[in-house]
Every structure is written in structure tokens, then in C-alpha cells.
Homo-oligomer: A and B are copies of this chain.
């Protein structure tokens, strides 16, 4: 298995990382994701990393990349389920994942995306 499945849930796409990520999988994931955003018109991308016990700079960069590409396609990326130890390590490594939003779990991540969509809808409604 060399592809990570991308599931559509309402306005968002859900990705669960549970295999060891190497170059090829990361590239395939980015390609699949951009395709899927384009075909589904998804407005958010949820990436669950709850099964990762170690997040190194390679994965950090991949998450940043995914967030940047998704933003170009008008979809917000939220990383969910980060283990406390991973958060500590990331900060110690100086990898703040500044381009990426985070949420405690999938449900809160989904709320974040829905709230953003709600706010956008209001903005548009208020425009003359």
C-alpha cells in the first residue's frame, strides 16, 4: 500500500497518517490531495496525526507544504490529534508549524472549518 486514502466528509477532506512517511508517499499524497480538492471543491483539509509518536522536520515540512498548496486552492488545513509529546518535541526543534492550524481532535477541527465557512458566508452577505 503506497497511497494514503483521502476521505470526503461534508466540506472537508480527512487524511489519517498511520504509515511511515517517506518521499514517495509524501509526493503522492500532495498530488492526490490537490486533485481531490479540485474535483470535490472541498474547503478544508483535516490531517489526523494521532498515531504519530515522532514528528521530525521532514513531516513538519510536508504538513507546511500541504497547508500552503491547499491555501492556494482556497482550502484551510487543520492538523488534529497531535500527541502532547510531539507538540513538546516540535517546539524544542523550533518547528512551530506556523502555517498550519491545529485542533485537539477531528470534531474540533471540523468545527474550525465550519466556523470559517460561516464567517465567509456572512462576509459575502454583508457585501453591497
Stretch at the interface among A3-11, A62-70, A85-93, A114-122: A3-11
Q: Does A20 contact B (CB under 8 A)?
A: yes
The digit string for A7-42, where 1 denotes a CB below 8 A from any CB of B, is 111100010101110000000000000000000000
Q: How many whole Å from A114's CB to the nearest CB in chain B?
A: 12
Known contacts A8-B107, A9-B9, A9-B106: A51-B20 contact under CB 8 Å: no
Contact indicator A1/B18 (Cβ below 8 Å): yes
Are A5 and B81 in touch, CB under 8 angstroms?
A: yes
CB distance from A40 to the nearest CB of B (A): 11
Task: Tell me the bound Cα distance from A105 to B50 in angstroms.
Answer: 22
In the assembled complex, 9 residue pairs joining A and B whose CB atoms fall closer than 8 Å, in A order, are A1-B19, A4-B51, A5-B18, A7-B14, A7-B48, A7-B50, A7-B81, A8-B105, A9-B107
